[in-house]
Amino acid sequence: MKKLYKTGIRAGLSLLLAALLCSAVLVSAAEPAFSDVPADAWYCEDVTTAVREGLVNGRSETEFAPEEYLTAAEAVKLAACMNQARTAGAVTLENGDPWYATYAAYAKEKGIIDGDLDWDVPVTRAQYMAIFARALPEGNYVEVNAIPDGGLSDVKPDTPYTEGIYKLARAGIVQGDENHNINPEDPIKRKEVAAILTRMMHPEKRVSFWRVPEPAVTARDFVGTWNDLTSKRATMTIMSSAEYPYYDVVIHWADSASSAAEWTMKASFDEANGWLVYESGRMAVVTYDENGTVAGDGKWDDGKGFFKFVDGGLIHWEDTREDRSTQFSFERAELPAPTAEELQDGFFRVIGGIETGTAGASLKKAAAIAEAMGFASRGTIWACDNGTLRSNILAAWNGLTAEEQAAFDGNFISVLTDARDALNDWETVKGVYEDAGVADTVAGYLSNRGSWLSWETLTSNTLTMGNSDGPAEAEAAPTGDAFVGEWQADRAGITITPSEDGYLCRVYWASSASERSEWEYFCWFDGEYLASVDAGTRKDCVYGEDGQLISSTVVFTDGAAAFRFNEDGKLTWTDFKTDENNLEFERLPSPEQN
């Protein structure tokens, strides 16, 4: 990734050293080393940088006094010198009578402050931020945190200097304590001043810390099969649609052995409420003859409604056209995962049994793909408990002989590739399936969303278990939880949180204050790294000044990714669909307050 911050923004910074002429204490040009600044303190690097570049001074050559407060007069002097250095290229201001008079007059003239302050009183954090929000020309406050108004929990609408606080927080110049509380009424300390000054003059040191809070309910929570507790005859399936970011919902209510009411919807996730919502919902009465032939009598296609979770993990349904909708109460149906023995015979040995390099090998592979897809489809694997499925996959693998494992590994990636090619370009590849006599069977699996999801669920879990060729090996991590947290690389960031079935990995890469790309993966930990296969999404987003999303364009929905630790302990991320994002991320620390 190209470095998005330009070092040119610091042009003329060396001239700021002239600010030392305004100081009461001169510090040696050598690298500063203060006895009261521990090497492992969060502010050590900021103090070192700020003193070395003349942005602030120690109280002596050996003491910085990081816990001391800054007075209003000292704050205005710093802001005035910084502004003159940036706009005029040099600092010519000198002490007046009283000593701060010259700096105060300059700050008033340049609009840095509006009037007199309590000059000898310690300045609050809010006051300091208000002053420094005006200390540099407007183009120096590029937004890196899309914090909405009200997003900072302890900055209320009536908090003084709110505008300046949000300006510096959005620019990544301040971030508050470990909970991002700004503590606006607290006096500001010199160690905090050093951090702010350093980020003011070094945009590459600014902090991108804002993350949209994780919703209590996610769209993934709705996915699965559900039984109605009221009628005992209705079932519901919810699965991710082939049309991102929608979900296909089907409710089936059997009136008799030969007829049923069926509702179908294409829903989207309402993050604000945690609901699945839809329009253009369809209802039909479906009848079956003695041969199983289906006929549908459509009743309407303009239903509007939503699904939401209620107490007990049940799903409640409301529809504008269906009066009976509120009578349903859906409980998750836990479908059994295939056993280890079933996985061995229906999946591992089928794929491992393909004899490559022999006559008719391509036809045997086509037949094996049909058989393995059928195994996944019949088991409705997409709706099984994923933890149980993964345990059974591993047990099945460990129960194979070394020869069977080698045979499976030798064929698996090729089978995955051929299956994906069949999904994406059936007309081009269907000939080999026709020759093998399985074209209609495979086409049926490819056109049935549940069948394909079952295949993806089975193969992605197998691939990420580390039992086959896949992403390159990485340095071992103790557990998947070692990845959990927030990570930063320039203007890109990663947030990894645990989910019910693995880990949710979200990546963003800001190209400007308002535009950024966002990736999302549901990953599994395979003992070495987090990985996702054919399930990653990328969106290119535009945000407004208030942090609200203006537009979002889906780039792809089938990205594959791996998150690994390198030998330096940094997190690396690679998206195998683009193979262009080989970045290294450092874990964000939990600052005391800055």
Confidence of residue 546 (pLDDT cuts 50, 70, 90): low
How many residues belong to the chain? Answer: 594
| C-alpha span between 557 and 47 (Å, rounded) | 45
Question: Which residue in 261, 248, 240 sits closest to 327, CA to CA?
Answer: 261
Any idea where the domains of the chain sit in the sequence? 7-205, 219-332, 340-464, 480-587
Confidence grade of residue 11 (pLDDT, cut at 50, 70, 90) = very low
| Per-residue pLDDT at 474 | 36
Q: Give the model's confidence band at 424: pLDDT under 50 very low, under 70 low, under 90 confident, else very high.
A: confident
User: What are the residues whose beta carbons fall under 8 Å from the beta carbon of 406, sequence distance 6 or more?
Assistant: none
Greatest mean pLDDT range, 7-16, 194-203, 307-316, 532-541: 307-316
Does 521 have pLDDT greater than 80?
yes
- Mean pLDDT for the stretch of residues 94-108: 94
**Contacts of the segment 18-21: beta carbons below 8 A, 24+ positions apart:** 18/54, 18/85, 18/90, 18/91, 18/92, 19/54, 19/55, 19/81, 19/82, 19/85, 19/91, 20/54, 20/57, 21/91, 21/94
More confident residue, 361 or 26: 361
Q: Is the pLDDT of residue 19 over 50?
A: no
pLDDT digits (tens, 9 = 90+) for 390-421: 889 989 999 999 999 999 988 888 898 898 88
What is the band of 245 on the pLDDT scale with cuts at 50, 70, 90? confident
Q: Three-state DSSP class for 144?
A: coil
CA distance 575 to 578: 6
CA nearest neighbour of 514 among 145, 103, 47, 121: 145
Q: What is the pLDDT of residue 383?
A: 85
Q: Are 564 and 571 in contact (CB under 8 A)?
A: yes
Nearest to 299 by CA among 274, 324, 277, 275: 324
pLDDT value at residue 319: 94
The least confident of 18-27, 215-224, 478-487 is: 18-27
Residue whose C-alpha is closest to residue 316's, from 580, 324, 498: 324
SS3 assignment, position 470? coil
CA dist 489 → 47, 206, 508, 581 (Å): 22, 11, 10, 11
Q: What is the pLDDT of residue 179?
A: 79
| Mean pLDDT (whole number) for 228-251 | 89
The whole model's pTM is what?
A: 0.49
Judge whether residue 252 has pLDDT over 90.
yes
Question: Residues near 41 by Cβ (< 8 Å), separated by ≥ 6?
Answer: 66, 191
Q: How many CB atoms lie within 10 A of CB 448?
A: 13
The tens digit of pLDDT for each residue in 530-542 reads 877 666 888 888 8
- The pLDDT score that the predictor gives to residue 590 is 55
Q: Between the CA of residue 439 and those of 72, 353, 355, 415, 452, what are the distances in Å?
A: 79, 20, 20, 16, 15
Over residues 114-152, the pLDDT tens digits come to 999 999 999 999 999 999 999 998 888 988 888 888 888
Q: How far apart are CA 415 and CA 405, in angstroms?
A: 15
| Residues contacting residue 44 through CB under 8 Å, at least 6 positions apart | 37, 38
Give which of 446, 450, 406, 399 is closest to 427, Cα–Cα. 446
pLDDT tens track for 29-75:
445 678 999 988 888 988 888 888 877 888 888 899 999 999 999 99
CATH number of 480-587: 2.40.128
Res 473 pLDDT > 60: no
- Mean of pLDDT over the chain: 83
564/579: higher pLDDT: 564
* Upper half-sphere CA count for residue 168 (Cβ side, 13 Å): 33
Over range 5-30, report the average pLDDT: 33
Instruction: Please determine, for residue 266, whether its predicted confidence score (pLDDT) is greater than 60.
Output: yes
Q: Is the pLDDT of residue 454 over 80?
A: yes
Residue-wise DSSP of 378-443:
HTTGGGB-HHHHHHHHHHHHHTS-HHHHHHHHHHHHHHHHHHHHHHH-HHHHHHHHHHTT-HHHHH
Binned at pLDDT 50, 70 and 90, residue 582 comes out as: low
How would you label 527-557 residue by residue, b for 16+ Cβ within 10 Å and e otherwise? ebbbbbbbbbbbbebebeeebeeeeeeeeeb
The answer to whether 424 touches 499, Cβ cutoff 8 Å, is no
User: Rounded mean pLDDT of 212-234?
Assistant: 82
Measuring CA to CA, how many Å separate 265 from each of 304, 305, 315, 486, 504? 9, 9, 15, 36, 26
Residue type, 152: L
For residue 304, pLDDT over 90 is answered with yes
- Name the residue with higher pLDDT: 25 or 592: 592
pLDDT, greater one: 594 or 137: 137
Cβ distance 267 to 241 under 8 Å? no
pLDDT at 591: 53
What are the residues whose beta carbons fall under 8 Å from the beta carbon of 557, sequence distance 6 or more? Answer: 244, 536, 537
Q: 562 by DSSP, 3-state: which? A: strand
Which is it for strands 294-310 and 275-288: parallel, antiparallel or unpaired?
antiparallel
Q: Which has the higher per-residue pLDDT, 533 or 251? A: 251
Look at the alpha carbons of 162, 166, 168, 174 in this order and tell me if their dihedral is positive or negative. positive
Classified as helix, coil or strand, 351 is: helix
pLDDT confidence tier of residue 471, bands split at 50, 70 and 90: very low
Lowest-pLDDT choice from 289-298, 310-319, 478-487: 289-298
Q: What is the pLDDT of residue 436?
A: 93
With bands split at pLDDT 50, 70 and 90, how would you rate the model's confidence at 220?
confident
Please tell me the predicted confidence (pLDDT) of residue 157. 82
Half-sphere exposure (CA, 13 Å, Cβ side) for 582?
Answer: 3
Q: Cβ neighbours of residue 270 under 8 Å, at least 6 residues apart?
A: 276, 277, 306
pLDDT digits (tens, 9 = 90+) for 176-213: 887 788 999 999 999 999 899 989 888 888 888 876 55
- pLDDT the model gives residue 151: 84
Is 70 exceeded by the pLDDT of residue 581?
no
- Report the pLDDT averaged over residues 479-508: 83
Distance of alpha carbon 271 from alpha carbon 273, whole angstroms: 6
Q: Which residues pair with 309 in a beta bridge?
A: 315
CA distance 141 to 16: 19
Check pLDDT > 80 for residue 236. yes
